[in-house]
């Protein structure tokens, strides 16, 4: 293990988005991190507190362009750019860097599937070959050995944490999955969009990207690996009028002779030593309020009224465990730092 007094010098690429800001918030209280560079093309030359006043008086470096960073002075780069842009930038970074990408650009293992899903050719196929999918609890050993981690999307993080143990052990029929997912508005990013204006999104809820959301192929990729066969899932996301948080409800057919309690016990056994995955008590339904601001995901399983079916629920904070917190968790693994370092925050309530 590295010396407990040594610092990991980091850069955050795309620091002016919600993900970048939350990563900076968490990194500021990480005892082993020194924030050396923050980039944001449209805000270059501005102080971080001018973009995010809640980060005032924290001694952060001034925002700059990527090309103005001295990368020889950086150990780890976090990339929070949009898809396609992320590939192009990461492809130019020096090979000594450990890179943690929170965009979608390296999540899909097949470059042709990436092109089909995101509408543009993969721009860094050689890098894709060394990228490790960053679902920490399931790929920890691979993450330790790579220099490029592709952090999962927020929806896949919740869905896969909930379903992978059950699919891999055959407790549920992986060909019959209905995934109902709901996320706070920060999941849509910080750019101005009509559907996320207060007057458009407040006091209501709506489905979006019905039957075509880009996280579906990512979910199917990992579930197919666990099941040993190609799968398609029924996945529908919804926007809910809150800033952060995510709730996923999955409806599944139980395999013969299995019960909802078997699912609960399997999840308990699989995650009993994981610091950031909790199984709720049997009489407690996971709420986004239980995890807000924390790096936790909470799970539970319930017997359906329809015989032979189970209802599975997961809740997480889409900006923390669903994005920046998981990115820091992966950095800790990559840098041989105790995994919970800088991520011990208890959820905010109310």
- Check if the beta carbon of residue 21 is closer than 8 Å to that of residue 55: yes
**Residues identified as active-site:** 154
Q: For 150-287, where are the alpha helices, taking DSSP H only?
A: 154-168, 198-201, 215-227, 260-271
Interatomic CA distance for residues 89 and 79, integer angstroms: 9
Q: How far is CA 175 from the centre of its chain?
A: 24
Tokens of 77: 């780069």
Cα(first)–Cα(last) distance of the chain, in Å? 38
Buried-exposed string 222-235: b where 16+ CB fall within 10 A, e elsewhere: bbbbbbeeebebeb
Nearest of 319, 4, 24, 2 to residue 188 by alpha carbon: 319
Torsion of CA 269, 340, 322, 101, to 10 degrees: -120
Q: Which residues on neighbouring strands pair with residue 310, listed in sequence order?
A: 252, 303
């Amino acid at each position: 293990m590295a010396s407990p007094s040594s610092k990991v010098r980091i850069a955050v690429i795309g620091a002016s988005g919600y993900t970048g800001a939350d990563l900076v918030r968490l990194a500021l209280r990480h005892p082993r991190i020194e924030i050396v560079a923050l980039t944001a093309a449209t805000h270059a030359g501005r102080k971080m507190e001018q973009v995010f006043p809640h980060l005032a008086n924290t001694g952060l470096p001034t925002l700059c362009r990527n090309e103005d960073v001295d990368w020889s002075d950086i150990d780890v780069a976090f990339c929070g750019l949009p898809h396609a842009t992320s590939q192009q930038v990461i492809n130019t970074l020096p090979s000594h860097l450990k890179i943690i990408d929170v965009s979608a650009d390296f999540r899909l293992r097949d470059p042709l599937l990436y092109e089909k899903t995101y509408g543009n050719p993969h721009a860094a196929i050689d890098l894709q070959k060394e990228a490790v999918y960053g679902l920490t609890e399931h790929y920890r050993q691979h993450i330790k050995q790579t220099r490029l981690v592709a952090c999962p999307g927020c929806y896949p993080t919740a869905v896969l944490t909930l379903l992978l143990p059950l699919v891999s052990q055959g407790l549920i029929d992986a060909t019959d999955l209905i995934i109902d997912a709901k996320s706070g508005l920060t999941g849509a990013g910080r750019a101005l969009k009509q559907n996320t204006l207060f007057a458009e999104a407040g006091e209501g809820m709506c489905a979006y990207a019905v039957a075509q959301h880009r996280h579906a192929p990512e979910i199917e990729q990992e579930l197919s690996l666990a099941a040993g066969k190609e799968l398609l899932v029924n996945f529908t996301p919804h926007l809910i009028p809150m800033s952060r948080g995510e709730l996923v409800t999955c409806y599944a057919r139980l395999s013969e002779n299995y019960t909802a309690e078997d699912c609960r016990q399997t999840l308990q056994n699989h995650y009993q030593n994981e610091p950031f995955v909790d199984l709720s008590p049997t009489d407690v339904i996971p709420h986004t309020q239980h995890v807000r601001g924390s790096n936790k995901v909470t799970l539970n399983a319930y017997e359906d009224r329809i015989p032979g079916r189970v209802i599975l629920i997961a809740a997480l904070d889409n900006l923390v465990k669903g994005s920046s917190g998981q990115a820091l968790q992966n950095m800790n693994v990559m840098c041989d730092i105790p995994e919970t370092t800088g991520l011990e925050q208890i959820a905010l309530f109310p």
